[in-house]
Amino acid sequence: MTTLNGHIPEGPVAELWDKHRFNLKLVNPANRRKHKVIIVGSGLAGASAAATLGEQGYEVECICFHDSPRRAHSIAAQGGINAAKNYQNDGDSVYRLFYDTVKGGDFRAREANVYRLAQVSVSIIDQCVAQGVPFAREYGGLLANRSFGGAQVSRTFYARGQTGQQLLLGAYQALSRQIEAKSVTMRNRLEMMDVIVVDGKARGIVARDLVTGKLSTHLADAVVLATGGYGNVYYLSTNAIGSNVTAAWRAHRRGALFANPCFTQIHPTCIPQAGETQSKLTLMSESLRNDGRIWVPKNAADVTKDPSSIPESERDYYLERRYPTFGNLAPRDIASRAAKVVCDEGRGVGPEVNGQRRGVYLDFADAIGRLGKAVIEERYGNLFEMYERITGENPYSVPMRIYPASHYTMGGLWVDYNLMTTVEGLFGTGEANFSDHGANRLGASALMQGLADGYFVLPYTLSNYLASHKPAPVSQDAPEVKATVKDVEALIGKLTQAPDPKHHPDYYHRKLGQIIWDKCGMSRNEAGLKEALREIPQLRDDFWKHVKVSGEAEGVNQTLEKAARVADFFELGELMCLDALDRDESCGSHFREEHQTEDGEAKRNDADYAYVAAWEYTGDTSTPTLHKEPLEFQEVIPSVRSYK
């Protein structure tokens, strides 16, 4: 084990970024065209970076597996984006956003990164408005805000329930402008399969064309992975079906450390699973908790009864009971765990799936009685419609059913203050890196981070890298390039020619997801994690023997794409459990049952665990090496998070 250096500049936190920016080297505009940068990913993090670097004059190649950059998973974000504009004059400031984010992350994020994020948040809104992002406005024509969980101020900017869509279209349009200007070459339907590392530096990627099946090599002076999060390791999640860990994982196998993999966010308000063939879970905006009351029957015997027939005295409004101050608005991690507790007690409602009812009521009857149906319809009409479309039930008359689902991953590629991984010249941005959210992310902060990284941080730090490293030319025939292509060919061969092919990759993904959900999901314990660490390698062996990929590798083959992604989830899943086992404390999203107070609240251990856990691949996925980056807090002194 070694101690990692995050390359955080010295000095007061509020001055760091300005000073650092001044110290960073610049590339002369005339020389920029000589530098080529590959950006993998066209979500908020990738599209914003590609557009900005292209505009600055670098030769940029942007790659995504979608048919168009506009389809990246960022498009699905609903609620909003935070920024410390203080347009509401309600006491917000850069410092307060910084403070809320460090505390919300349960003191497992770097102060310096979080401060920078809060600082640049204000420029993001300016940039997006200038691009024509149609944020919601007040009658006076100025920008409107809403409040979001974990904050006492109203700092969230939004575009109806489609904020991610509008921000992504803004970035996509900026990117399109650079594509037209020929400063960015866009390559759709291309999946990165590996990173090419030459002399310890990232010099390109190997990719598979998803239409022809052909492998190609792409060489550059630096590579950026803006490839999103790995929430689909659980199989069911609110992420898009295609979201995966492959790019980050292949980089990990080539030397990039992977940080805090066990920090995964489980969102409390999603539509519960309806059956065993379900492919994804749909998020219902958290805002519903402002007016809906959450309950389950007091008695397990009542769970199949018509909810309207259950009298008040027989209902358990468990969040209001356990958290009288925050009630139904308790933070995400706390609300999620509380739902799991009542369902595990056999008091869950809705259909039985795999032998358990996983659902709790979110009931609007009181709010409709108090405010009238019209008000509720105005506030949540579109969400109610979406709910009805999916479940066939009308939430105005029958209480909604909700259950937590995998939603976001705080863990990811370890990056330093410059967003560079431990492989020189390989950068990680957006949800793919681990940088800013510690052990729990606050609502509306992921969009902010993706755009902060892409528009305002990476363009500086990447330029500095290019200005200070003169990479020797690499040819397509270099041994490292050829060897990487060979490795990818071997992998595809292994996936398409299992010794005894039997099962579709989804068969394995579902099983893997179930193990990780049960044992490394909302709550974890030593015995369960150890069991998972026995089960995962066994299932993985079975996968390599029996995975069945039909069709040709030379052409469109979505089964093959899926199989390759599942293979990487297997390895990541194991690392998540190892990380969760190592972190013998409860913090944020990571709840170790051994570490709780008498009334079931998380107990953090700052003396032993105030560090970032960054794992090194050793060739054997069961025995990675742990490196620690100690976390120091100068501004926000760690305290107990209480929402009682």
Contacts with ligand FAD by CB under 6 A lie at 40-46, 63-66, 72-74, 76-81, 163-164, 191-192, 226-229, 238-239, 243-244, 246-247, 283, 407-408, 430-432, 444-447, 450
Instruction: Kindly report the backbone phi and psi dihedral angles of residue 211, in degrees, each rounded to the nearest multiple of 5, phi listed first.
Output: -95, -45
Q: How many CA atoms lie within 13 A of 378 on its CB side?
A: 4
Nearer residue to other proteins within complex by CB, 154 or 596:
154
Least Å from the CB of residue 68 to other proteins: 5
Q: Does 306 bind other proteins (CB under 8 A)?
A: no
Q: If contact means CB under 5 to 8 A according to the sort of partner, which of ligand FAD, other proteins, none does residue 27 touch?
A: none
CB closer to other proteins out of 279 and 475: 279
Q: Which is nearer to other proteins, 88 or 216 (CB)?
A: 88
User: Per residue, what are the HEC states of 521-548?
Assistant: CCCECHHHHHHHHHHHHHHHHHHHHHEC
Q: Which of residues 91-130 bind other proteins (CB under 8 A)?
A: 123, 125-130
Q: How far is CA 578 from the centre of its chain?
A: 20
Min separation Cβ 361 and ligand FAD, Å? 22
H-run or E-run covering 574? helix 558-582
Residue found under tokens 């066994």: 538
| Contact status: 274 vs other proteins (CB under 8 A) | yes
Q: How many Cβ atoms sit within 10 Å of the Cβ of residue 346?
A: 13
Q: Of 579, 558, 585, which is closest to residue 516 (Cα–Cα)?
A: 579
- Binder among 29, 91, 355, 392 for other proteins (CB under 8 A): 392
Residue with tokens 């933070």: 331
Residues 6+ apart with CB under 8 A from 255: 197, 200, 422, 423, 616, 617
Pairing of strands 59-63, 264-270: unpaired
User: Residue 392 CA to chain centroid, in angstroms?
Assistant: 30
Dihedral angle sign, alpha carbons of residues 270, 330, 167, 188: negative
CB of 435 to ligand FAD, least distance (A): 11
Residues 6 or more apart whose CB falls under 8 angstroms from that of 183 comprise 54, 55, 57, 58, 59, 60
Tell me the C-alpha distance between 257 and 415, whole Å: 8
Give CA–CA dist 396/336, Å, rounded: 24
- Those residues whose C-beta lies under 8 Å from the C-beta of residue 140, and which sit 6 or more positions away, are none
The residue within the footprint of other proteins, chosen from 420, 439, 549, 577 (CB under 8 A), is 549
Q: Quick one: which of 93, 154, 188, 216 contacts other proteins (CB under 8 A)? A: 188
Residue 140 or 311: the one with the smaller Cβ distance to other proteins is: 140
Q: Is residue 87 a contact residue for other proteins (CB under 8 A)? A: yes
Residue 227 interface partner, choices ligand FAD, other proteins, none, CB cut-off 5-8 Å depending on type? ligand FAD
Choose the binding region for other proteins from 247-255, 421-429, 463-471, 545-553 (rule: CB under 8 A): 545-553
Q: Which does 496 bind (CB under 5 to 8 A by kind): ligand FAD, other proteins, none?
A: none
Contact 281, 405 (CB under 8 A): yes
Q: How far is the CB of 413 from ligand FAD (least distance, A)?
A: 11
What does the alpha-carbon distance between residue 363 and residue 289 come to, in Å, rounded to a whole number?
A: 9
CB of 192 to ligand FAD, least distance (A): 4
| 63 interface partner picked from other proteins, ligand FAD, none, CB below 5 to 8 A per type | ligand FAD
Least Å distance, CB 93 to other proteins, is 16
Question: For ligand FAD, which is the closer residue by CB, 297 or 459?
Answer: 459
131 binds other proteins (CB under 8 A): yes
Q: Are 494 and 544 in contact (CB under 8 A)?
A: yes
68 binds, among other proteins, ligand FAD, none (CB under 5 to 8 A by kind): other proteins
Output the smallest distance, CB 443 to ligand FAD, in A: 6
Counting contacts by CB under 8 A, is residue 285 touching other proteins?
A: no
Given 29, 89, 91, 389, the residue binding other proteins (CB under 8 A): 389
Cβ proximity to ligand FAD, 32 vs 71, nearer residue: 71
Instruction: Give the count of beta carbons closer than 10 Å to the beta carbon of residue 321.
Output: 11
Q: Is 137 in the site for other proteins (CB under 8 A)?
A: yes
- The reply to whether 511 sits near other proteins by the rule CB under 8 A is no
User: Given the complex with other proteins, which of 160 and 373 has the nearer CB atom?
Assistant: 160
Q: Is position 162 an interface residue for other proteins (rule: CB under 8 A)?
A: yes
Is residue 280 within 8 A of residue 241, CB to CB? The reply is yes
Interaction between residue 553 and other proteins (CB under 8 A): no
**With b meaning 16 or more CB within 10 Å and e meaning fewer, what string describes 121-160?**
beebbebbeebebebeeeeeeebbbebbbbbebbbbbbbe
185 makes contact with other proteins (CB under 8 A): no
Q: By C-beta, is 421 or 586 nearer to ligand FAD?
A: 421
Q: Which stretch binds other proteins (CB under 8 A): 64-72, 255-263, 432-440, 624-632?
A: 64-72
Dist. CA 83–CA 89, nearest whole Å = 13
Determine if 455 is a binding residue for other proteins (CB under 8 A): yes
Contact assessment for residue 507 and residue 559, using Cβ atoms and an 8 Å cutoff: no
Scan residues 237-256 and list those touching other proteins (CB under 8 A): 240-242
Least Å distance, CB 180 to ligand FAD, is: 19
Whole-number Å distance between alpha carbons of 578 and 481: 32
Residue 40 interacts with which of other proteins, ligand FAD, none, CB < 5 to 8 Å by class: ligand FAD
